[in-house]
Chains A and B, each alone.
Chain A
Amino acid sequence: MQIKSSLVCPDCGQQTLHDLHYAGPVLHEITCAECGKASYAHHHPVGGYLLEWRGRLLSKPRRMYREVSKNPIILFRLSRRVVSKPTRVTREFFEVLH
């Protein structure tokens, strides 16, 4: 995924458009659209993704608890989410690989 945002480029010395490249949910590279200077949040997006995924896995029970206590109706939709989760995770992982 790629999104654009305006940041101050230290090389151009002014606010310019930047392309933010994400590998799945992990910010991988930021490139100035004017001068092409790149900054790297994660040189190895797969490693970054796995680390991020581990964090998500560990915080899942807490997040689910919070979500359900706010809106118990979510429980009825849970089965669909559980069934589709492997597909969503696989799709996300292949996005990171490419």
Chain B
Amino acid sequence: MNTTAAVVLGAGNGIRMGQAINKVYLEIEGLPIIVRAARPFAQHHDINRLVIVAAEHELDRCRRVFRSAGIKVSAVIAGGETRHASEACALEYLAPNIECGEVEFVLIHDGARPFFDGATLNELLEKAHYSGGAICALPLEDDLAHLNGRFARPMVDRAGFWRAQTPQVFRAQVLLDAYRSAAVSGFEGTDTAASVERVGGTVEVVRGDARNIKITQPEDLVLAESLIGATGRGKR
């Protein structure tokens, strides 16, 4: 049986702003964003472990929000300064289980993406099983401009360009090796797939969902409020 560990990243940028609340703990209709993000994995029968990565000073808060939402997590661990560092922390935490073959796949998801509904999860796991890695992504619909000073030159053909989302699933040993190799050479990938591709790993794409937004700007929060309204107000 394949065992999969899901890692939800919640130690993001917001934490360095002193008095501010990390955006992943903001509530949308009474439920924190990170709880909404992790929920599909807690409910999926093929996910055996759920690891939440939180900022060191927010570990208690993180445990509290999951406890009060009634979601069982395997562990809440401290992350690093960057996304890459947080992923590395999670992988080192899982390393003994990966090395003994207990965890075969690792899924990484942004804690600031509260609208992944789990619909593509089976497809992701299946593709990762055959190719070693699979990510959710959407084809680009806007044109791309390469900025040269203040001039957009040349325009880039958008064909073949996709926007990467999470979740991203990888064969656990490949992912662990990729991050250990990155640590040795000082490489910092912007997302998980970048580190895997760097060591020659293959990554397949599963068409994502436009509603799987990442809360980054104020407008994302506004959109999140209306998405919740559209998908069932009061659903907690």
A8 contacts across to B, CB distance below 8 A: 216-217
Asked if B219 and A6 sit within 8 Å, CB to CB, the answer is no
Instruction: Report the interface size class on chain B.
Output: 20 to 34
Partner of B236 from A9, A30, A59 at Cβ < 8 Å: A59
The reply to whether the CB of B26 lies closer than 8 angstroms to some CB of chain A is yes
Asked if A41 and B233 sit within 8 Å, CB to CB, the answer is no
User: Closest B-chain residue to A18, C-beta based?
Assistant: B218
Q: How close is A93's CB to chain B, nearest CB, in angstroms?
A: 17
Q: How close is A45's CB to chain B, nearest CB, in angstroms?
A: 12
Interface residues of A in 60-86 (CB under 8 A from B): 63, 66, 70
Asked if A30 and B222 sit within 8 Å, CB to CB, the answer is yes
- Give 5 CB contacts A-B under 8 Å: A5-B17, A8-B217, A9-B217, A39-B218, A40-B222
The reply to whether the CB of A54 lies closer than 8 angstroms to some CB of chain B is yes
Q: How close is B153's CB to chain A, nearest CB, in angstroms?
A: 21
A-B contact number at CB 8 A = 82
Asked if A27 and B20 sit within 8 Å, CB to CB, the answer is no
Interface residues of B (CB under 8 A from A): 13-14, 16-17, 19-23, 26, 28-30, 70, 215-222, 225-226, 229, 233-236
- Residue interface mask A25-43, B partner, CB < 8 A = 1: 1010010100001011110
Partner of A27 from B16, B21, B221, B236 at Cβ < 8 Å: B221
Partner of B233 from A10, A32, A40, A51 at Cβ < 8 Å: A51
User: Closest A-chain residue to B19, C-beta based?
Assistant: A4
Partner of B20 from A6, A32, A42, A52 at Cβ < 8 Å: A6
Interface residues of A (CB under 8 A from B): 3-10, 15, 17-18, 20, 25, 27, 30, 32, 37, 39-42, 51-52, 54-59, 63, 66, 70
A41 contacts across to B, CB distance below 8 A: 221-222, 225-226
Asked if B233 and A4 sit within 8 Å, CB to CB, the answer is no
A55 to B232, CA, bound (A): 8
Asked if B222 and A7 sit within 8 Å, CB to CB, the answer is no
User: Closest B-chain residue to A59, C-beta based?
Assistant: B234
A66 to B218, CA, bound (A): 33
Asked if B17 and A6 sit within 8 Å, CB to CB, the answer is yes
User: Closest A-chain residue to B21, C-beta based?
Assistant: A5
